[in-house]
Every structure is written in C-alpha cells, then in structure tokens.
Chain A
Amino acid sequence: MFLVSLTVFVLIQLPPGDFVTSWAAQAAAAGEEVTPAMMEEMRRRFGLDQPLIVQYFAWIGGVVRGDFGYSFEWNAPVVTLLGERMGLTLVVTVSTLILSWCIALPVGIYSAVRRYSLLDYSFTFIAFVSLAVPGFLIALILMYMSVKMFNADVTGLFSPEYANAPWSWGRVKDLLAHMWIPVIILGTEASASLIRIMRANLIDQLHMPYVVTARAKGLTETKLLLKYPVRIALNPFVSTLGWTVPRLVSGAVIVSIVLNMPIAGPMLMQSLLSQDIYLSGAFLLLLCLMTVIGTLLSDILLVVLDPRIRVQ
C-alpha cells in the first residue's frame, strides 16, 4: 500500500511544471496578466515550493487521517468532490463484475461440456470479437445506435432532473435505468475473457480420474458435473478476480469519459490535464486501493474454497 501511494505520488508529480504553471498558462491565454511574484505566492500557499519528499509526507499524512487535500481547480476539499463519484464507480464496477460472472459461468460450463458444438463455436467467436473491440468503441456504437433508432441520449448516469438532486427512490430508479449501458459495455469484455478461462479450466478438469471415480459411483451426469469438475474449476476462476477488478476499473475510466458519466473517469482525466495533483492523486490512490482490495478478496475467497490452501 505504501508502494502504491508512493507510485501514485511520483506519477502525479511527473509532468513538468505544476498546477501553477498550467493555471498561469490558462490565465495568460485568457488574457490575464500573471506576474512571477503571483506565481511564487500561489506556490507558497499550496506548499508547492517544499521539496518533494516533504510534500509526499504532508499528503500521505493527510490521507491517513482522511484528509485528501484541497483541489486547486475546484476550490473545494477533494473529499467532497470524490465522495459520490467514487461511490458510483464502485457501484458500476461491482454490478459489472456480478453481471459478467452471471454470464461467464453458465456459458463457460456449457462451452466446456459441449465442446466443438455449434453453440460453443458461436460463443467462442462472440468472445473473440468482443475482446477485439475496445470498450470505448462499443460505447460509441451504442450511442450512435440509440440516437439513430430511439433518438435517445444514453450519456450520463442520471436524467437531467435527477442529476443534482439528493438521493431518493426516484433517483435510484433513474440510476438503474441509465446504468445498464456502461455495465453492459464493461461486462462484455470481462465476460469474454472469463468465459474462455472457465472453459479452459473446466476442460482440464473434465477428464481427471476423480470424475471417472464419481461416475463409477453411479452419480447422474448433471450432479456429477456440478459437484466435482465445476466446483474445482471454480478455484482458478476465483483467482481471476485479482486481475478482473483492475481491468474493470480501467475500462470504467475510459467508458465513463466517452459516456460522460459522473464517476471517477472524467474528473480524473481533467485533474490530470490541469495538474490538480491532490485531486488526481486521490483518484489514483482510491482506484488502486479498489484493485488491491479485489486481489485481497480473491485470495480470501480462494482460502475459503480450497481446502488445500486452507489446511497447509
């Protein structure tokens, strides 16, 4: 975690110049006069004149206390900007994860058991295609089709009337009505790779001797399939959680930029471009944290599922 925070900090400090220079450039473009003295004054106020290592510890010390710093650009504490957006990011990511599992598990099992059947081939082909289409392109195509066919705008996560409204049942319903689009876009790619993994795992297990043993006991094929090979193929499947989560988070960022959704993506990008370091740092840190938690979760789940790891 310390390593992650350090990486994040180095990353956001990497661009040449700082917020003040980019702010000054903008101001100059707008025709305002910016004197070097003003810039120095601003730097001092934000603490940007300190050596990097001091800045880092000041920042991370704040983070540990729950203080993510102050956004230069929005003139507001980072926490307030972050709160709802991160929450919604989490909601979108988790629902996508659930959706992709719900698709990948049955399809993967079917494909493995009925290998080389027509449906298996079609699933495999669809999976291949959806792996090849970048998420933002699906988003664009969906946007295009919804405009052409329904003349509806699918961007955003809320209808205009709910966008800034406080939480209510109506708002939740509105969210659900909008959320299916990013979830489907993100889910396609995730399910595609998960299907292939489940299929390969299960095919490996299907011919293990213990399956023959169970069959020789007189179990029905369905029960046998679910109790033994599928159950065991689940273990490597669960461990994919470790890398599906980072991928989903990545995908969510780019898709949300295209669809202009009020989650982490667009604001992260904006803050990166304007070198609003505390805001972008907080975003990066939390996104990384989400993936670390995902990995941790998959490890825990694996221990629960697999006695070989639990006992030894």
Chain B
Amino acid sequence: MADNVNTNSRGAGDVILDVRNLKTHFGDDDKAVRAVDDISFKLQRGKTLCIVGESGSGKSVTARSILQIVDYPGKIYGGEILYWGDQQVKSGQPLDLAQLHPRSKQIRSIRGHEIAMIFQEPMTSLSPIHTIGSQISEAILLHQNVDKEEARARSIELLRRVEIPNPAVAIDKYTFEYSGGMRQRAMIAMALACNPKILIADEPTTALDVTTQAEILALIKELQQAYGMSVLFITHDMGVVAEIADEIGVMKNGKMLEFGPAEQIFYTAQHDYTKELIDSVRKLETSARKARKSTITDKKLLEVRNVSKIYPSRKSFLGKASDPFKALDNVSLDLYEGENLGIVGESGSGKTTMGNCLIRVLEPTSGEILFKKSNGNISDLAKAGKSELRQVHREIRMVFQDPFASLNPRMTIGQIVGEPLLVSGLASGKELRERVGKLLETVGIPSAAMERYPHAFSGGQRQRIGIARSLALNPRLIIADEATSALDVTLRSQVLDLMLDLQEKLGLSYILISHDIGVIRYFCDRVAVMYKGQIVETGEAGLICSTPEHPYTKALISAVPGTHPRDKRIVNRHRYVADAAPGKAVA
C-alpha cells in the first residue's frame, strides 16, 4: 500500500511537496471521522499529480490540509507536509506546513503566494458582490509590494493570459456577469497572481460542460509549462486523469490505495479498486446494446413533429425587454418500439426541456407529439387533456436525475413505489404489498425493506427504487433524465445494465437524456445531438460517437477525455466557435 511511497525518505531534489503519514480528522475523540487516514505521496517539481477517488474518499480534505484551510472541526492530527520552495532548497531545510498554526503569519505567506488553489464551483467560490478585478488585485496587493495601479495593470494582464476577451472591461465586471467557463478562468488568473510554485486544483472542471472542461484543462496544462508550476489535481473523473496526469494517487475512504506513474496505474494497476475504476470508465467506451440481442422493431412509438418551447420576452426593471428565449426550436424526432434513443447536449442545450415537454411537465408552445397508445390509438400529447394525459402517464414514465430529491422523505419506499398503483386503483391492501414487493425484488432491493424511509438507502439504491416506481404501471416508454449522472462512476454501468435487463424482460423503450457521451454510447441505439434548442445531428450511436458529421458534434466528441494516458486527445480537439456567445463554446 502506502509503503512503496516512502522508500526514498531523504526528500529534496525534484520533490517540491512531500506528504508523509498525513492524518486529518473531524472531531477529537474516538468517534472522530478520519477523513484522511495516514496517507503519503510526493509531488514532483513541474509535474502534475492527480489524486482520484469517488465522493467521500477524502481527496478534497487532503488538498485543503496542505494549505490548512480544512473547515472546523477538521484538523491535522498527525504527519508531515514538507514543502521545498526556493528558499527551502537553498537552506536545505524543508518547511513542514503541518506544523504551522492555521492562523499563523507563516502559513498565510504561503497561501496564494507559494501555493495557490482553485475550486470546483466557480460561481460560489468567487464573491458575488466584489468585482473580479478587486478579487484578483487583492491577492497581488497582499503578497507583493506594489501599489493599486500596478496591481490593476497586472490583473488585466492576467485576465488576458487566461484568454478572457476584452480584459480591460471584464476586470470591472461582477461574478454573475461571467459565464461558468469564464469564472473558472478568472479563478485561475487569481491563483496565478503571484506566480505560485504549486497550483492545487480541487475538481476545477466538474461543474463545467465537457467542451469547456477541455478548454480549461488545456489552459492549465499550457500555463503549467509556461510558469513551471507543479500541479496537484483533485478529481473523480478517470478520463481527466488520463489526459493530464504524470503521476496518480488513488484514494478511497481516506486511504491512499495506490500511488505511481500514470502509465503504471492505467495499464498495470495493482489494486482491485483501481482496476474497477478504470474498467467502469472503459466499459462506457463500448456499446452494451450491440452485445445484446436487438429489441428494436419497425413500429413507431413516438413521433415528435416541429416542437418548440418559447419563453416570452420579459421586461426588466429598467423597462428593457429581453428577446424571447427559444428553449426548443422546431425539434423533430422519432422513436421506434424497443429502441433506446439518446438525447445528448451540454447545459442549456434544451435537452431537459425536451424531456419535460414530452411528458407535459412543461407545455410546448407549438408542434405535435404523437404517441401510439397500447390500444393502437394515436394521441397528440401536445394537446391532450387532463384525463387523456393521466392515461398516457401510465404508459410513459420518468426516472429523475437526483435520487435524493425524487423520493418523498416522509413516505416509506413501499408507499412510494405503490403510490401509482394505489391512485390508479389497480391494487390495494395485501395485493398492493405483494406487487410492491415484487417490483422491489425486480430492481434488486429486498422486499423486506419496504417499510424503510428513503434516507436509509444509498444513492445507487435510491435510483433503483426510482426505477421500481416507474415500472409499477407496466409502462412502454421510460424517459430517463440524467438518471445516472448523480452516481459514482462504478455505479453508473450497474444501473444502466439493470435498465437494459428490464428492457429485455418487459419490452420497454427508453429515451435517455444525458450530457455524458460515455453513457449514451453504452446505452443507446440512436442519438440526437442538441445544441441551443436545436437538434444538430441524429444518427446511429456508434457512428455519432466515432465519426460525427456536424462541426459541433465533432467538437463535443473530441472534447471527451479518453482513458489512455498515451493518447492525449484534448490537445488535438476540435474547437467549435460558430455563433457562440462570448465565453460559452469558446469559454
């Protein structure tokens, strides 16, 4: 395990940060949560170290321990964090950051100056009421002996360096006026303000779209070379790791399971968990549908014709009217019985609006949604009345993204799964209990757990319960909106496999809405690619994912990180700049 890390205990040389037996606990007594439990690793000068792990593995706490900014009641409990900055190399004596008091002057002169950090949520990580410029200059003024004018000039230069258009104007803007990608660029500019030796990046691209993520990763990579920084990169995404890592540490439950050079980890992993992580990502690079016997028929189940959803213009406070917003712009689709259709797109592309319009949670502005009911009649969902909708809602069901929010915390899972049966009068009493029990067994939850409340289940289990609820009325079509994106990667393919099994057993069709190319490729027969409310390309899933036609799809697919450190794809990505708004597709 961690022992092989400690072989060279003399330090210095090319090592800039040497973490030994670090322990960070939350709470003091025996019941303390050991968020970081005796881990050791080394960060090489000028290199990138990725620490990868799933939620709750302690990777973020590790990063924060280095700068001693762990939230109360978390505290470094033991171990050393030896820092070899320029001064320390000169004196031959490393600085142990773990020994410094979190409020001491010494650690403050390290923070933002020698070691800088960027965070996951660029929106909330920047102050909402100070200008971007004042937040960047603050770091400069704090650590360097310059006046305000000089600091401002440098801030503008930094914004230019991170490719923010028109930096002299952008510097006086507020956080909420920046797009997601631009905010993360501003964060990076702030971190670079004092030419730090180490950049710690805590999931900096997780909240971003995949094309924006590629831009930010490329930017970090380029700046790292230009400034000669070492980067400690925290992420849960093995794809990102493959793109940028020189060395990798794998964490789980506060322990470092494995540590080594990127190629070693990816091709000759020692630990089962590491293999599982890599396998579950690679699995999503294949198609599960091709491996199974096809269920597709040539009977059309759903026909979407020219559906639009337009939000009317709004008058703002000063009476300026905004343009009407076209969330869906003349969209048409077909779905055949037994087919899995994927709708893929980035945030704001209209894919979720699409799903909600199909099931009439939202009212489409115009167009037709023709659904063939089980009795053979065709119903136009766009115009269906209440009672008609109620019937259709038995045949079309929905699985939601957030397994925590979609289950009523005040009801037992038996009640939740049984609710559709009960309200449509299909079963009650003992029969209801039996059917609910069967449904739960179908999705792999023991029927004895029926009396429990949702909070007793993990995320993956909850998603299974959500699926059981959607199956209760023997539906023919299930719309799954980002059904796996809230789950850790190792659970994702499990839930997808369950859905595919159910399809073979019950003769279902799926519409899967997702931003994740891997999930789409694994699960779907055909894909529709959405961009700004329009479908730019539709086609067979394998073809779209390997040889896309439309330039946007090309950019999208090429921005998806691979799983092979030898094949770094992001450097060779396509950039789609067509009619992009500033800071969106160009980021």
Q: Which residues of A contact B (CB under 8 A)?
A: 207-210, 212-221, 228, 231-232, 235, 305-308, 311-312
Complex Cα gap A307–B119 (Å): 23
Complex Cα gap A118–B120 (Å): 36
Contact of B127 among A220, A232, A235 (CB under 8 A): A232
**Given contacts A218-B111, A220-B108, is CB(A312)–CB(B317) below 8 Å?**
yes
Complex Cα gap A312–B318 (Å): 9
Q: Which residues of B contact A221 (CB under 8 A)?
A: 103
**Given contacts A232-B129, A307-B129, is CB(A212)–CB(B119) below 8 Å?**
yes
Q: Which residues of B contact A220 (CB under 8 A)?
A: 103, 108
Q: Which residues of B contact A306 (CB under 8 A)?
A: 129
Q: Which residues of A contact B121 (CB under 8 A)?
A: 209
A308/B128 in contact, CB under 8 A: yes
**Given contacts A209-B121, A212-B125, is CB(A218)–CB(B142) below 8 Å?**
yes
B149-184 with Cβ < 8 A to chain A:
174, 176-177
A210/B128 in contact, CB under 8 A: yes
Between A and B, 8 residue pairs with Cβ closer than 8 Å are: A212-B69, A212-B71, A212-B125, A216-B116, A217-B112, A217-B138, A217-B190, A307-B128
Closest to B123 in A: A209
Q: Shortest beta-carbon distance, A205 to chain B, in Å?
A: 10
Complex Cα gap A11–B581 (Å): 57
Q: Shortest beta-carbon distance, A294 to chain B, in Å?
A: 21
Q: Shortest beta-carbon distance, A193 to chain B, in Å?
A: 24
Complex Cα gap A232–B317 (Å): 22
Q: Which residues of A contact B177 (CB under 8 A)?
A: 311
Most chain-B Cβ atoms within 10 A of its Cβ — which of A212, A219, A221?
A212
Complex Cα gap A311–B112 (Å): 30
Interface flag for B109 (CB, 8 Å): yes
Interface flag for B139 (CB, 8 Å): yes
Interface flag for B113 (CB, 8 Å): yes
Complex Cα gap A219–B134 (Å): 14
Main SS of chain A's interface residues? Answer: helix
Complex Cα gap A217–B177 (Å): 23
Complex Cα gap A209–B129 (Å): 14
Interface flag for B524 (CB, 8 Å): no
Q: Which residues of A contact B125 (CB under 8 A)?
A: 209-210, 212-213
Contact of A217 among B124, B142, B174, B316 (CB under 8 A): B142
Contact of A216 among B71, B117, B120, B174 (CB under 8 A): B117
A217/B139 in contact, CB under 8 A: yes
Closest to A234 in B: B129
Shortest beta-carbon contacts, A-B, top 10: A218-B111, A217-B112, A218-B112, A209-B125, A218-B108, A216-B117, A209-B124, A210-B127, A217-B139, A213-B125
B304-329 with Cβ < 8 A to chain A:
316-317
Complex Cα gap A215–B138 (Å): 12
Q: Which residues of A contact B112 (CB under 8 A)?
A: 216-218
**Given contacts A306-B129, A308-B176, A312-B317, is CB(A218)–CB(B110) below 8 Å?**
yes
Interface flag for B126 (CB, 8 Å): yes
Complex Cα gap A307–B109 (Å): 31
Q: Which residues of B contact A216 (CB under 8 A)?
A: 67, 69, 111-112, 116-117
Interface flag for B435 (CB, 8 Å): no
Q: Shortest beta-carbon distance, B320 to chain A, in Å?
A: 11
Complex Cα gap A231–B143 (Å): 23
B124/A210 in contact, CB under 8 A: yes
Complex Cα gap A235–B129 (Å): 10
Closest to A115 in B: B72
**Given contacts A216-B112, A218-B113, A219-B108, is CB(A210)–CB(B126) below 8 Å?**
yes
Q: Which residues of B contact A235 (CB under 8 A)?
A: 129
Q: Which residues of A contact B131 (CB under 8 A)?
A: 307
Q: Shortest beta-carbon distance, B381 to chain A, in Å?
A: 36
Closest to A210 in B: B127
Q: Shortest beta-carbon distance, A312 to chain B, in Å?
A: 7
Complex Cα gap A305–B128 (Å): 11
Complex Cα gap A306–B143 (Å): 28
Q: Which residues of B contact A212 (CB under 8 A)?
A: 64, 69, 71, 119, 125
Q: Shortest beta-carbon distance, B257 to chain A, in Å?
A: 27
Complex Cα gap A156–B174 (Å): 52
Complex Cα gap A209–B206 (Å): 15
Closest to B136 in A: A217
Complex Cα gap A149–B558 (Å): 85
B111/A217 in contact, CB under 8 A: yes
Most chain-A Cβ atoms within 10 A of its Cβ — which of B111, B121, B129, B130?
B129
Q: Which residues of B contact A307 (CB under 8 A)?
A: 128-129, 131, 174
- Kindly list 15 other residue pairs between chains A and B, CB separation below 8 angstroms, not including A209-B125, A217-B190: A207-B71, A208-B124, A209-B119, A212-B71, A212-B119, A212-B125, A219-B108, A219-B138, A220-B108, A228-B127, A228-B130, A232-B127, A306-B129, A307-B174, A308-B128
Complex Cα gap A228–B537 (Å): 46
Q: Which residues of B contact A308 (CB under 8 A)?
A: 128-129, 174, 176
Contact of A215 among B109, B111, B143 (CB under 8 A): B111
Complex Cα gap A216–B67 (Å): 7
Closest to B108 in A: A218
A214/B317 in contact, CB under 8 A: no
Closest to B126 in A: A210
Q: Which residues of B contact A208 (CB under 8 A)?
A: 124
Q: Shortest beta-carbon distance, B467 to chain A, in Å?
A: 33
A215/B69 in contact, CB under 8 A: yes
A219/B142 in contact, CB under 8 A: yes
Closest to B67 in A: A216
Q: Shortest beta-carbon distance, A167 to chain B, in Å?
A: 43
Complex Cα gap A197–B510 (Å): 49
Q: Shortest beta-carbon distance, B115 to chain A, in Å?
A: 9
Q: Shortest beta-carbon distance, A219 to chain B, in Å?
A: 7
B67-84 with Cβ < 8 A to chain A:
67, 69, 71
Contact of A213 among B110, B126, B129, B176 (CB under 8 A): B126
Closest to A211 in B: B127
Closest to A232 in B: B129
Q: Which residues of A contact B143 (CB under 8 A)?
A: 218
Q: Which residues of A contact B109 (CB under 8 A)?
A: 218
Q: Which residues of A contact B113 (CB under 8 A)?
A: 218
Closest to B317 in A: A312
Complex Cα gap A202–B109 (Å): 27
Q: Shortest beta-carbon distance, A50 to chain B, in Å?
A: 42
Q: Which residues of B contact A231 (CB under 8 A)?
A: 129
Q: Which residues of B contact A232 (CB under 8 A)?
A: 127-129
Q: Which residues of A contact B117 (CB under 8 A)?
A: 213, 216
Closest to B68 in A: A215
Closest to A231 in B: B129
Complex Cα gap A209–B183 (Å): 14
Q: Which residues of B contact A228 (CB under 8 A)?
A: 127, 130
B128/A213 in contact, CB under 8 A: no
Q: Shortest beta-carbon distance, A220 to chain B, in Å?
A: 7
Complex Cα gap A308–B129 (Å): 7
A214/B124 in contact, CB under 8 A: no
Complex Cα gap A231–B135 (Å): 14
Complex Cα gap A305–B113 (Å): 30
Q: Which residues of A contact B174 (CB under 8 A)?
A: 307-308, 311
Complex Cα gap A215–B107 (Å): 11
